[in-house]
A and B are shown apart, each in its own frame.
Chain A
């Protein structure tokens, strides 16, 4: 998760207008959700991966690792869809008997599994494209433009910032416990972890108090308003995004 955040700031597409990236990512995601053609899905995966690796310049090793994250999860899920247990052996294409029943795969199951798998993977790559090229601050900016209630975007701003403060605090606590052999045995580990979590909870409360005080000293009166970065639309990019979407939709209809 931290590495995604890191790449969001250092990739080559960072300075592209966030709404353009958002439109491409979410637009393609919608197309994938709407059409059940696995060929389209694989094309989307290839297209997004190309953008991520070549245009954004994300190292392929890191990208591969990220792509493996949903793999096990998806594989297990898809297996459940593909496998069929039935007592009418005629519909099973390949399978073996388990007592009176047949365990195997049927044609419809395989198709279903393939579509689910490709669609899920295509959606993931679309979201990876957004996550890897757009810093959270810009994502929040998009949400603000979409008139998402202010209280949510303000909370996102603060939560995002304090995830890192919390992680830093937690890792410090962990290290200090480790230094005192807090994780020497399983029972001690459980105890230490419990202490760490409860302490972290109390610390967060303290932090929120301190933050409130600090914001108050700068004239906070209920609204967190900041100056937004100004982005410039690029008509060329917008044209390409429209072309890409049209192409995917056209292809899906033809297929």
Chain B
């Protein structure tokens, strides 16, 4: 039932993604909210956080003349559009306009924004006119790869980051607070405050300014309302590949239920588990099992705990002693449950000893010293090291090797693999750790997921090879298709 529900949810999500991407695409192409409303621009530039207010009449005339003279050489962009910035949380607008032939490091584009057509105006953002970051081609995930993107500017106006002033920060008692230096603490006042509702209209002006700070407005004052998107089409390729991979894995799990004898290649380390447990039982010595150094949230620890379940079942069947010193308290708790369950499954709940699975310390080398001490005192006949390891790996395995124990390890920590390979009898490399649970249990459901994984790997291999050939031939469509955020 879960499977059918999941498929339904995934299909619905895909439909939702496609549906919500339509307004965003239209917005990005320039459909957006109506442009060019209202009033004439006026006034000189102010720094961020202060209102941009018109100057008195006489000074305004003089200023106007200076501005005109200074920026006469700059060829204004032919059109300016205000659109909703695509694929965001509904707090950004964007100004889209073609490049001007007279752009140079001397000129800067500045954006002012206001909640009303007459101002006050606040500085939102600015960028050098020649900056590559304000070209549409700088963000192909959102704007595509068309040729026009390298000739068109897009300036994102993040409305939630526009500062309009400061006020005194008040404590719970309503009194202004002071910082450590005795100065009053100030709180930023933002354009987008708690009273701003999604879909509110904002007014935007695009200004071009030169190094003297003289400004000239590009086009009229524009207005628009940002729209929140629920799905990000720029991540659609990611979503599709993830869903495809999930579907493939689920298909093979279903297939494996009908054909339980799926082939899985021999993993020597896992085949040796029974031999190691048997050896320990014959020698009357305990078995040491380490879950790695990572917390329970790490998948390698979960993989190790899965293997612990299988190993402890064998240990219970052989009536041997299992020692599991843990580095993390939650890992310890989960390990205790797993081992208890395994002993119960093997029909030996009486043989379970909770004290054999205990928390040592979280400190890396204190834990290593403790485990080394256990190895030297208890002299386990078999040591299992599964999970994530760091610098202590060689300390653990060398000590274990010196006691003559058979050692089986498995980790996805690439930098520790050489140490394990040198000192252990068997080593599971990378994904073999994650396959171990399926290998030991031989359950069709788990084997099926392994097969699905292999299909995924094959797909990546094909894409890498084909992509390399295409890129070498100058065909970049596959590269473009795979770009994501």
> A and B bound?
no
